[in-house]
Copies of this chain bind each other. A is one copy, B any other.
Amino acid sequence: MPDQVLDDISHRRYNPLTGSWLLVSPHRTKRPWQGQQEAPSKNVLPAYDPKCYLCPGNKRAQGDSNPQYKDTFVFVNDYSAVKEQQQDYHPEPTDKNDIASLLLQAQPVTGRCYVLTFSPKHDVTLADMTVSEILPVVQTWTRIYGSHLSATHPLRPAAEATLARIPTNPNGEVEPPSTNQLRYMQIFENKGAAMGCSNPHPHCQVWTTSTMPEEPGKEFTQMARYRAENGRHLLADYVKLEMEKKERIVWQNDGFLVVCPWWAVWPFEVIIIAKRHVRALVDLTDEERVQFAEAVQEVTRRYDNLFETSFPYSSGIHQAPLDCTEDEAETSWFHMHFYPPLLRSATVRKFLVGYELMAEPQRDITPEQAAARLKDCGGELYRRLLN
C-alpha cells in the first residue's frame, strides 16, 4: 500500500498528466451491497450480420459498399464531426475593450474522421482475438498515423522506415487530406452499449483535427513542464516508480507496463505505457508492435474475465502530434488509456454525474484494489470455457 492510512481515509489524489485532482473514498466500499449476481454472458451475435454497416460486402448509409476485407478496413466516416473543407472563419483577435472577443471566442476546426474495423467478423472483440489477429490492427494504426505526418515532421524518417516494414493492406490505406496539414490524430474505441456504442462489430474511430484537442493538450503541457523542471520524462519516472512499488501493476512484458494509475477516475481504469521512450506508433519496432498487441489483448481479456461479461470501455492512444517541432516530438510519450464504467458487476456501473460534473471526480475502490483484481483475472477468456 502507498501509505496504509490511505486505504481507509477520504483523500484526494493528484493526476500529474492533467494537473487535476480527484476524490477517493475507500471507506465507502464498506457499504452494504445488494446488487444482483449476473450469469456469465455468452456471445449471441452472428459472425456476419447483413444489416451491419461494417461487415464485409455490406452497403453503408451513403451507398458505398464495403470490400471483402481480410483483417482491418479503413474508410472516411460518412458523418464526420469535422469537415475537410469549409467556409473560412477568421475570429477577431481578443481585445480588452471588446467583451465579445473575450467571452464569445471561437476558432475554426477542419479535419477528417475515419472508421477502422478490427476484424471482418461481426461477433468478436479485441478480447476474443489472438495477438496475431490484433497485430494487423496495430499495423493499420501505425500506417494511418505515419501517413498523416507533416512533411517536415521529426518522426518522418522513422515513419518511412517503419511503414516500409509493415505489410500493405489494400483496405487499410488512406491518403491524408491534401487541403491543409492536420495537427492531431485521436485514435479511440468506444465499446459497448453502456458507452453509447450502437454497433458491436469491432471497430475504432480515428479523428484528425487542425487543432490540438484539450486532453492530449493538457497532458502535453504537463509533460513539457515536468521535463523542464526535472530534466526527465514524467512517464519514464512513473514507469520506474510503479515497477519499484509493485502496487498498481496489472501486467507487463518487455515493452509495456499496464497499471491502474495512481490517479484513476474510472473504477478499473488502466493505462498501457511504453517502457522506453516511444514518441508515437511509428517508433515501435517489429517486436514492440507484437508486445503492444499483447498488452491490448491482456487488458481486454482481463476486463471481460472480471465480471464474466463483454466489458464496455472507451480507450484511446496519446502520442506525438501530426505536426510538431523536434522538441514537441521529444516531449511525447506513447501510451493508451482505458476508461471502463463498470463497478461491481455486468450491470452496476459508475456514473460520472452530480458531484463529478459539478465539483470533482470521485471513486470508491482504490486503484491498488482494482489492480489486484485485474491481476488475478488472467488466464483463458471465460467465454471459451462456457459451453
**Interface set of A (CB-CB < 8 Å, partner B):** 2-3, 5-6, 8-14, 16, 20-25, 27-28, 31-32, 61, 79-83, 86-89, 96, 99-100, 102-111, 184, 186, 188-190, 195-196, 205, 207, 209, 211, 213-216, 226, 229-230, 234, 237-238, 240-241, 245, 262, 314-316, 318, 337, 339, 349, 351-355, 357-362
Contacts and interface: CB of A to CB of B under 8 A. Distances in A.
Going nearest first, the 9 A-B pairs with the smallest beta carbon separation are: A196-B351, A316-B358, A213-B359, A14-B105, A213-B360, A190-B354, A10-B82, A9-B86, A186-B359
> A80, A207, A337: which has the most chain B beta carbons within 10 Å?
A207
> A21, A61, A339: which has the most chain B beta carbons within 10 Å?
A21
Contact of A358 (B6, B8, B186): B186
A205 B5 contact: no
8 contacts: A6-B106, A14-B105, A81-B355, A195-B351, A207-B355, A215-B357, A216-B359, A316-B359
A360 B5 CA distance: 35
Contacts of A88: 5
B214 A359 contact: yes
Contacts of A104: 2, 241, 245, 262
A79 B359 contact: no
A45 B47 CA distance: 43
